[in-house]
Amino acid sequence: MKRRIIATDQAPQAIGTYSQAVRVGETLYLSGQIPLAPETMTLVEGDVRAQLRRVFDNLSAVAAAAGGRLADVVKLTVFLTDLEDFSMVNQVMAEYFSAPYPARSVVGVGALPKGSAVEVDAILVLAGS
């Protein structure tokens, strides 16, 4: 099956050897996003709530570049440097998602790129491919 690389300047550019997203058939695999502002490639200021919002905005921009939206997400993986932020993940997700919610894992990690407190990757299923 053919792979199609998805890229947009509305989300941070890759900071390594990876693509923002890869589409295979109806499935879209979004690489992990940290809370970088696309215009400056610097971490957003603020608490974990602000960081989570930037991450979901970045994921939304990449999904849109492929013709999708966050409502198409079937699986999220959330990486946190502090699992005390777990409840904040639920609060912010409620701003971006509605029931039925995607499957999700939350993983505690020792560190993330650029000192971020959060990273999220996603898998979407796009209709009409």
What range does the domain containing 22 cover? 3-124
Q: What is the DSSP string of 52-115?
A: HHHHHHHHHHHHHHTT--GGGEEEEEEEES-GGGHHHHHHHHHHH--SSPPEEEEEE-S--GGG
Q: What is the DSSP string of 23-61?
A: EETTEEEEEEE-SB-TTT-SBPPS-HHHHHHHHHHHHHH
Q: Report the CATH number that the domain containing residue 41 is assigned in CATH.
A: 3.30.1330.40
Q: Which two tokens stand for residue 20?
A: 């923002």
Q: What is the predicted pLDDT for the residue at 12?
A: 97
Q: What is the predicted pLDDT for the residue at 129?
A: 47
- pLDDT beneath 50, residues of the chain: 129
100 within domain boundaries? yes
Q: What is the predicted pLDDT for the residue at 1?
A: 77
CA neighbor of 113 nearest in space, from 81, 89, 69, 86: 81
129 within domain boundaries? no
Q: What are phi and psi of 91, to 5 degrees?
A: -65, -45
Per-residue pLDDT reduced to its tens digit, 44-79: 999 999 999 999 999 999 999 999 999 999 999 999
Tally of domains in the chain? 1
Q: What is the predicted pLDDT for the residue at 128?
A: 59
Dist. CA 46–CA 9, nearest whole Å: 23
